[in-house]
Amino acid sequence: MEWKSKWIWDNSGEHPRNQWSCFRRTFTTPSDYESVTISISADTKYTLYLNGELIGSGPVRGWQSEWHYDQYELTNLNKGNNVISVLVNHYGMSTMHYIEGRGGLIAQLDFYERGQVAHQLITDEKWKTANHDGFIKETVKMSNCLSWSEIYDARLFSEEWTQLVFDDSFWDQAIVIGSCGMEPWKKLIPRDIPHLTDEVTYPKNVRSLKEVTPIPQHFSIDLKPTFFPDEYDNNSGKIMQGYVVTEIHSEDAQEGVMTLTFDPHAEAKWEFSVNGKEYKTKNGKYENIKLQKGSNLLIVDVGGFFHEPIIHLAFDLPEKITVKAPFSQSNARFIAMGPFYRTTQLQIGYPVEKSIPLDEEYVQMKDVKSLSELESFKKWAKEIPNEHVCTDHVALLSMFKKDIKTHSLPFQHQNMVLPNQSFTYVEPMENGDTEYLIDFGKEYLGHIEFEVEASKGTVFDFFLFESIHQDGRIEHTFSLNNSLRYVAKEGRQVYRSFIPRGFRFMMLTIRNLNAPCKIHSVKVNVTTFPTGNVGGFSSSDYLLNKIWDISKHTIRMCAQDTIIDCPAYEQALWTGDSYNISLMNYYAFGNYDLVKRCLRLISKSVYRSPLPESHVPSGWQNVLTAWSILWVMSCREYYRYTADQEFIEEVYPELKLTIERFKGFLNKDGLIEISAWNMLDWAPMDTNHTIVTHQNALLVDALRQTAYLSSVLGEVEDEKEFLLMADELKQAINMHLWDDTEKVYIDSIHEDGALSNVHSIQTNLVVYLTDCAEGERRGIVEDYIVNPPEDFVHIKSPFVLFFYYQALMNVGKNEMVLDNIRDIYGYMLEHDATTCWEGWELIEGDFSRSHCHAWSAAPTYVFGVLFLGVKPLEPGFKKVSISPNLNGLKWIKGSVPIPQGKIDIYCKDLGDYIDLQITLPDEVEVEIETSKNTRVKVNGKEFVSDTNNMFLITAN
């Protein structure tokens, strides 16, 4: 389309922190038009209204250089006056699915007559704008990966602002910041996938009612703007040396407890001192402290390695305290001392400095015990702005609390979760806050929506999580602030959260309840990639059926504007994860457009980093070597399942560039030697080195796959070069990475040249799957896979299980695959899983970190291949192999999506013969393969095989 509109913004600046800006434009509908379309985009997220009605939100994630816009056809215009209203939330910092650009909005209404644009309404200085005061900016991020948590005060801003009747005469005029094509949005491109769903889903039940009191005081302090000013990235590897200091004022001497909490991913000292007394603590631990009357000096050592430099301080004392920043002439509550040293280390393929210098003054300040001693370090003092300090951290208030009493739960308390006109009547508790535990029955990702009737100032805190143990213990991911606070206005009111969240359980705590309130409804508007429920599997084995169900639901909740790893913690497109997830998705849903979108986004990261990045588009710039290679292999698999040659032509320059970049990392022995994140599994493999076996082996296969795509495109010379590289790399692996004494492929070569003495199933599994092991070595490795030695490192994540299952199926060990699936996924089901866990033993005492993780949904792929036996023989399923296998079951049935539609299969053991029913599109040619000496009837006719026990049929 041709953009006439300008980018506009308000006076909040280029990078406002957690900014919520309202924009409005009233207009009169032309009399001579046939249809009208609005095109719109914003940085970071917009929500669009027409005459008060919600139209949609966006845009989808992308690189700023190719920023996406959305289009909507507007069908409910008034004949006279109308108003377009847009709420823009600009993050002001990067996340793991957004790179900070700058605040901006662009929109254009095109009125069509006879197929031509007859009238236009553009964004310009005629638009009105105001800050949405209802959103509280002094909040904290939902995790180190996501944006800010949502705190909304309905008392502070008129909800009529989207309505035509609203008077915006006191609002400011919008500021034109540039034309379409301005930096950082060099190019606006249309949305490349459909809009996500909006499915109303109600909870299953209210599980408990408690009376609680939260920890009395807490402070969550965002240190990044102070220690890393003007840095808007989300990079891990932030190293700093410094302190956070405050004066604690106490009316009387008192004793109590204090907690210091960091992001669990931090490598921090966990040290603080109160009036010179030193404490060494850990996440969530209560430390006993003594305060003297008057001033007390608190010094927190914040030196260390961080992904997100945020600290949380919580106090449970008999009397409230006040905190004041030393040396401050303002009302600041904390100061930062430092940074005495700071740096950000990027893992993108180049060596990083492992030896961090220890600043002398930083060490000296460790001995400070009083304000007078602090004076000599005053030159390092910087006030931490109060807007960077949150005292409404809902997750902390929900975790650090006291249960006063568990109350009975009469049925009227279930009314809030029922889709009818009933309500739950809530009376104030005698001594504390009202806490409901609500179970949605499954994990979902979506927008929370609720309707309440309450008095002004009543606080509704929603804390969301994924898992509860049998004994009632909640699994708290301490780095996940999955929450929402809503402060009520007077009367009956409805609120729909602007930020979608992933969760199963909801803790609803009602605070400041001075008069009874009514909860009419609580629900979630589930958002996911729109798709038909095409793939399916069921059988005579109930456990396998349940495993299929939770696997498929996992994939669906992780299908958003890209494939994402998990709905709750990260919502990130991880490059390596997407390899497995794509294959699972092909068998569960057939969302080819979504996979293509992911592969395209990943391809663009080679213009920022030496290799495709570990997750994109992200403010955390990072290379995970195996993930880079898996992107190459994903492109080959995408072509295999879709025959989309046009897309391969599009990304071929990036594929070829990736191979060229890998050539630059070859060492004198012909092996890949790279300083990056060289992991494969959440297991103690010896891969924290520059020469790692599994990624060399993966690259061999990726080179072969790229050579194949070169042949498809007629790039003959490239094909020859890539095959030669693959052969030479395979030889180097077998020359340098095989331990002939131990008869095993080693995990790595250390920097001093020593061979790793760690042997892992994972390394040998990858070497086997990539056909890098031949002859006697192949037989040895195959035995390792089938009979894993006790002293080997064993698999610790469902991600690697995906490859393990492939290897076992290759050697005909189907029963081992099914035994492992029943064991691993059966354990999840035993512990109330409705989606697949990221792994096990990731957090001490917890089942998993993420309880809905798409890399773990391997059964959707395995059952499609192992039971239904459907594989493309030619790209795009023009010719397909079907080899159903009951694997000891009485019957199986299922459907596999293909580009032409789907293949339906029913297979049953009738004793004398196997009854096989197949339905498929007319244009698909099929080869059926069955076990030898097995009598089979296909669609009612006797199966007669050729000498290879195969039979060629067509749909007709």
**H helix or E strand, kind and range, residue 909:** strand 901-909
CA 314 – CA 926 distance, rounded (Å): 65
Torsion of CA 649, 655, 657, 659, to 10 degrees: -140
pLDDT of residue 844: 73
Q: What's the mean pLDDT in 114-130?
A: 96
What is the biggest distance separating any 2 CA atoms in the chain, rounded to whole angstroms? 96
Q: What is the pLDDT of residues 347-367, one digit of tens each?
A: 999 999 888 999 999 999 999
**3-state class of 784 per DSSP?**
helix
The CA-atom distances, in angstroms, between 609 and each of 416, 617, 926 are 50, 12, 43
Q: What's the mean pLDDT in 479-493?
A: 95
Work out the angle at residue 503's Cα, subtended by the Cα atoms of residues 501 and 505, and round it to the nearest 5 degrees: 135
> Do 863 and 896 touch, CB atoms closer than 8 A?
no
pLDDT of residue 946: 55
Question: Cα–chain-centroid distance for residue 350?
Answer: 26
Predicted TM-score (pTM) of the model is: 0.96
Q: Does domain 6-133+150-190 have CATH number 1.20.1250.20?
A: no
Phi, psi of 347 (to 5 degrees): -95, 90
User: For residue 125, what are the contacts with CB-CB under 8 A and spacing of at least 6?
Assistant: 8, 173, 174, 175, 176
Q: Does domain 216-393 have CATH number 2.60.120.260?
A: yes
Mean pLDDT over all residues of the chain?
A: 95
**For the chain, what percentages of helix, strand and coil (3-state, to nearest 5) are there?**
25, 35, 40
Q: What is the pLDDT of residues 728-770, one digit of tens each?
A: 999 999 999 999 999 999 999 999 999 999 999 999 999 999 9
User: For residue 263, what are the contacts with CB-CB under 8 A and spacing of at least 6?
Assistant: 144, 306, 307, 308, 310, 478, 479
Given a cut of 80, is residue 477 above it in pLDDT? no
pLDDT of residue 478: 66
If one counts every other C-beta atom within 10 angstroms of the C-beta of residue 308, the result is: 20
Given a cut of 70, is residue 944 above it in pLDDT? no
Q: What is the pLDDT of residues 319-349, one digit of tens each?
A: 999 999 999 889 999 999 999 999 999 999 9
HEC string of 682-738 equals: CCCCCCCCCEEHHHHHHHHHHHHHHHHHHHHCCCHHHHHHHHHHHHHHHHHHHHHCE
pLDDT of residue 263: 79
Orientation of helix 798-810 relative to helix 775-786, angle to 10°: 120
Q: Is 173 exposed, middle or buried (0-12, 13-18, 19+ CB in 10 A)?
A: middle
Q: What is the pLDDT of residues 210-234, one digit of tens each?
A: 999 999 999 999 999 999 999 999 9
DSSP characters for 393-433? -HHHHHHSEEEEEEEP--GGGGGGGSSSS--EEEPPPSSSE
CA 673 – CA 751 distance, rounded (Å): 10
Half-sphere exposure of 32 (CA within 13 A, CB side): 6
CA 368 – CA 551 distance, rounded (Å): 55
CA 885 – CA 587 distance, rounded (Å): 16
User: For residue 293, what are the contacts with CB-CB under 8 A and spacing of at least 6?
Assistant: 250, 251, 252, 253
pLDDT band for position 775 (50/70/90)?
very high
Q: What's the mean pLDDT in 113-117?
A: 92
Work out the angle at residue 631's Cα, subtended by the Cα atoms of residues 625 and 637, and round it to the nearest 5 degrees: 140
Phi, psi of 426 (to 5 degrees): -115, 120
Q: What's the mean pLDDT in 670-689?
A: 97
pLDDT of residue 846: 78
Work out the angle at residue 606's Cα, subtended by the Cα atoms of residues 600 and 610, and round it to the nearest 5 degrees: 155
Q: What is the pLDDT of residues 401-415, one digit of tens each?
A: 999 999 999 999 999
Q: How do strand 45-50 and strand 116-122 relate by DSSP bridges?
A: unpaired
Question: Which homologous superfamily is 199-211+400-526 in?
Answer: Galactose-binding domain-like (2.60.120.260)
Residues forming a β-bridge with 405: 211
Domains 199-211+400-526 and 216-393 share a fold: yes
Q: How do strand 188-190 and strand 67-73 relate by DSSP bridges?
A: parallel
Residue 878 corresponds to which tokens in the numbers above?
């023009």
> Do 866 and 885 touch, CB atoms closer than 8 A?
yes
pLDDT band for position 847 (50/70/90)?
confident
CA 88 – CA 59 distance, rounded (Å): 11
CA 246 – CA 25 distance, rounded (Å): 47
Percent of the chain residues past pLDDT 90, beyond the cut: 92
pLDDT band for position 954 (50/70/90)?
very low
**3-state class of 311 per DSSP?**
strand
Per-domain residue ranges for the chain?
6-133+150-190, 199-211+400-526, 216-393, 891-954
Q: Across 774-900, where does the E strand assignment appear?
A: 870-872, 879-882, 891-898
> Do 886 and 914 touch, CB atoms closer than 8 A?
yes
Q: What's the mean pLDDT in 137-146?
A: 93
Q: What's the mean pLDDT in 61-75?
A: 97
pLDDT of residue 626: 98
